[in-house]
Amino acid sequence: MKKCCMTLLALGLVAPGALVAQSASPSETASPVGTLDAADRAAVERLGGQLMLAGKAYEYDRMLADEIGPRLTGSANYVKAAEWATEEFKRLGLSHVHREPWEIAATWEPETFATASILAPHAQRLHLESDGWSPSTPPGGVRGKVFYLNALTEDAVKANAAQIRDMIVLLDGESLKAAGPLEFGKLLDTIALVGAEGARGLLMGLGDVNNISAELGVTCCNGAVSHLPTADVGREDTLLLRRLLAHGPVEVEFSFANRVREHVKVDNVVAEIPGTDASGEYVVIGGHLDSWHLGTGAEDNGTGAASVLAVAQAVMAGGVKPRRTLRFVLFGGEEEGLLGSIHYARDHAAEMDKCAGVFITDTGSEPPQGWYVFGRDDEKKALGAITPELESLGAVGTTDEGRFAFSTDHGPFLIHGVPSFVLWTPLEKYFGLHHKPSDTFDKVNQRDLNLGAAVVGVTALAFADAPQAMRHLTTAEMEEQLKKIKAFDEYSDMKTHNMF
């Protein structure tokens, strides 16, 4: 997820925790998409069986994670992954297989892994890595005394301006908690303010697991490189720095080099299985292809990208002819703020009214519980058309949880009023791996991945075959929906920062 892949999550603003089911099962009332006829229901069920028993998601994820490796947006590995996915869609026999380029302000890749240590009161190594889209440290590294900022707010930065100047500023989970709800753009603005007040560097101690730099996120909006060298510090090191600071001055140094290229074309990968009717309507089955680089992005989001390919493979293998077109999209730049899907939605705005639904997966391989529906009761009712099939997969639930309303690639569709669905799974395992060196293929559970891919395939095909397409929300309705699920401030923040 972005901000999870969800950058807000990456930056630790949202504590992992149990989500609450908003409804145990879809409503009993009539589905707004109508009832599947027997032949369509049989096709949906065959597809689910194919994905469960002979699905290719596990093998696709192995190829992405182990053979291609980490896939930072615009990197050589990302290009390789986009080429590989393109060739695979072609080999499977899909139509209109192509790549759609968009431009990122800058690509970013570590040139060296970081070195870092405490210099005083005693010498000790620190576990630290550069944050995403941070500039390199100056030659010789950043060296200075540490100042702990206890609240990441504009007021606190200004009130502490004298202490921040020429210091290395440390933030941790408590500093963010003290700031209250911070949207993505506002968070990055406040971090930029720390740099503007003359800090030499920024240490983010947001990790919740053992001493690894763990919570990579971007440090600047819209794919641009930030101005202040910013690093993630391991949890135990952060706690040590806090304890040492309680007893006197602490001096640290850190050093890393990052390679930046400006104005780079990045490709989304698109392929279709054409629908049989002439309405021009389509459903999107998507996920992000990019990942962070400390691990291999097997769970964030190798599982999602692999599920997209696996659904395409299973539909082709079963000779299924959907009523509406199935459009498969692998996005880049998700981790930098949904950049690939934002560009996609802009480029396809003229045909957005034909989009009968978007189905995204981005939370790794855990047993699916159902779908995030972001406050749309009509989506819950529409899912009622396939209650027996979703029940058999253990995934008949829905949640209105709003924290993830803009955390992955459905967001740019949701703001167009498109019926938007994100696979809903537990998150405990995911957040233990997400953006960390431990996000590797050995963590992927084949059964759970197949279950997730089956839920995606079954639901997307049911919406493609349904007698009616779901209606789109008007902008006013969409904004009301976001208020209802407490996601309106994040939407406003993204608009303010020219993301939407």
Stretch that binds Zn ion, among 1-9, 201-209, 224-232, 446-454 (CB under 5 A): 1-9
Handedness of CA 299, 301, 304, 306 (dihedral sign): negative
Q: Which is nearer to Zn ion, 300 or 400 (CB)?
A: 300
Complex with Zn ion: residue 5 or 220, whichever CB lies closer: 5
Q: What would the two tokens of residue 211 be?
A: 């001493």
**Of these, 5, 214, 220, 386, which contacts Zn ion (CB under 5 A)?**
5
Please identify, among the stretches 46-54, 299-307, 339-347, 455-463, the one whose residues bind Zn ion according to the rule CB under 5 A. Answer: 299-307
290 binds Zn ion (CB under 5 A): no
* DSSP per residue, 18-87: PPPPSBSS--SSPPTT----HHHHHHHHHHHHHHHHH--HHHHHHIIIIII----TTSHHHHHHHHHHHH
CB contact at 8 A, 475 and 364: no
CA distances from 265 to 56, 99, 107, 261, 366 (A): 30, 11, 9, 10, 33
Which of positions 433-452 make contact with Zn ion (CB under 5 A)? none
Closest approach, Cβ 335 to Zn ion, in A, equals 7
Rounded to the nearest whole angstrom, what is the least distance from the CB of residue 327 to Zn ion in the complex?
20
- Do the Cβ atoms of 454 and 365 come closer than 8 Å? no
Residues of this chain, 308-347, that bind Zn ion according to CB under 5 A:
none
Q: Cβ 447 to Zn ion, closest distance in Å?
A: 21
Tell me the closest approach of the beta carbon of residue 91 to Zn ion, in angstroms. 26
Q: How far is the CB of 494 from Zn ion (least distance, A)?
A: 17
Which of these segments, 4-12, 58-66, 259-267, 372-380, binds Zn ion (CB under 5 A)? 4-12
| Between 238 and 301, CB nearer to Zn ion | 301
Strand arrangement of the beta sheet that strand 397-399 belongs to: 95-110, 258-273, 325-331, 282-288, 355-360, 420-424, 370-372, 397-399
In the region spanning residues 368 to 407, those forming contacts with Zn ion, defined by CB under 5 A, are none
Instruction: Decide if 117 contacts 241 (C-beta within 8 A).
Output: no
Q: Are 51 and 450 in contact (CB under 8 A)?
A: yes
Tokens 């971090």 sit at which residue?
A: 191
The CB density around residue 150, as the number of other CB atoms within 10 Å, is 14
Which one-letter DSSP state was computed for residue 500?
-
Residue (102 or 404) nearer to Zn ion, CB: 404
The CB-of-197 to Zn ion minimum distance in angstroms stands at 32
In the complex, the smallest distance separating the C-beta of residue 408 from Zn ion, rounded to whole angstroms, is 6
**Distance in Å, CB of 301 to Zn ion, minimum:** 4
Residue 335 vs 389, nearer CB to Zn ion: 335
Contact window for Zn ion (CB under 5 A) among 215-223, 244-252, 293-301, 325-333: 293-301
Please choose, out of 301-309, 336-344, 365-373, 467-475, the segment that lies near Zn ion by the rule CB under 5 A. Answer: 301-309
Task: Assess 1 for contact with Zn ion (CB under 5 A).
Answer: yes
By CB under 5 A, residue 300 contacts Zn ion:
yes
Residue 88: HSE in the Cβ half-sphere, 13 Å Cα cutoff: 26
The Cα 26–Cα 23 span in angstroms is 7
The DSSP secondary-structure symbol of 386 reads G
Nearer to Zn ion, 4 or 252 (CB): 4
Phi, psi of 352, rounded to the nearest 5 degrees: -65, -30
Tell me the per-residue interface mask from 350 to 369 with Zn ion, x by CB under 5 A, - otherwise: ------------x-------
Query: Which residue's Cβ has the minimum distance to Zn ion?
Result: 5
Minimum CB separation of residue 360 from Zn ion in Å reads: 10
Of residues 345 and 360, the one with the C-beta less far from Zn ion: 360
Looking only at the bridges linking them, the beta strands covering 420-424 and 370-372 are antiparallel
Phi and psi of 189, rounded to 5°? -60, -40
- CB nearer to Zn ion: give 88 or 439: 439
Nearer to Zn ion, 268 or 301 (CB): 301
Question: Rounded to whole angstroms, how far apart are CA atoms 113 and 87?
Answer: 33
Give the x/- contact pattern for Zn ion in 244-283, rule: CB under 5 A.
Answer: ----------------------------------------
Rounding to the nearest 10 degrees, give the CA dihedral for residues 363, 364, 370, 372.
10
CB of 338 to Zn ion, least distance (A): 10
Q: Where are the beta strands (DSSP E) in 397-450?
A: 397-399, 420-424
Binding Zn ion (rule: CB under 5 A), the pick from 301, 341, 361, 425 is 301
Query: Which tokens hold the place of 4?
Result: 């999870």
CB of 287 vs Zn ion, minimal distance in Å: 8
Q: Which C-beta is closer to Zn ion: that of 58 or that of 292?
A: 292
Burial 295-316 (b: 16+ CB within 10 A, else e): bbbbbbbbbbbbbbbbbbbbbe
Q: Which residues, at least 6 apart from 480, have a Cβ–Cβ distance to it below 8 Å?
A: none
Please identify, using beta-carbon distances, which residue of 1 and 422 lies nearer to Zn ion.
1
Nearer to Zn ion, 267 or 362 (CB): 362
Minimum distance, C-beta of residue 78 to Zn ion, in the bound complex (Å): 14
Size of the site for Zn ion (CB under 5 A): 5
Interface residues toward Zn ion, by CB under 5 A:
1, 5, 300-301, 362
